């Protein structure tokens, strides 16, 4: 799994845990929904650390909590 794949999976996982959809997350994070959608839309589009920070705010978690997932273990180099 690549870093972008793990990031996408983690966002979806946290949406499910927090019972949110992408639009609700964006509103909670104070960012445009298209910013989050673009993470899923483009093949090699990696979100900025600032975007991940705002996503964490939307979920009410820390960056450490975001990356504290088995999804980020053993990533591919792609």
- DSSP codes of every residue in 31-65: S-HHHHHHHHHSTT-PPPHHHHHHHHHHHT--HHH
Q: Which fold has domain 3-71?
A: 434 Repressor (Amino-terminal Domain) (1.10.260)
CA distance 4 to 78: 9
pLDDT digits (tens, 9 = 90+) for 36-71: 999 988 766 789 999 999 999 999 999 999 999 999
CA distance 71 to 68: 8
Whole-model pTM: value is: 0.91
With the CA atoms of 12, 38, 3 and 53 taken in that order, what torsion angle do they form, in degrees rounded to the nearest 10?
Answer: -70
pLDDT digits (tens, 9 = 90+) for 4-23: 999 999 999 999 999 999 99
pLDDT band at 78 (very low <50, low <70, confident <90, very high): low
- Determine the straight-line distance between the first and last CA of the chain, rounded to whole angstroms: 9
């Amino acid at each position: 799994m690549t870093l972008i794949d793990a990031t996408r999976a983690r966002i979806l996982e946290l949406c499910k845990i927090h019972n949110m959809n992408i639009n609700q997350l964006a509103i909670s994070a104070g960012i445009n929904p298209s910013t989050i959608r673009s993470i899923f839309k483009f093949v090699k589009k990696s979100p900025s650390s600032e975007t991940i920070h705002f996503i964490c705010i939307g979920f009410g978690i820390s960056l450490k909590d975001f990356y504290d997932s088995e999804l980020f273990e053993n990533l591919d180099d792609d």
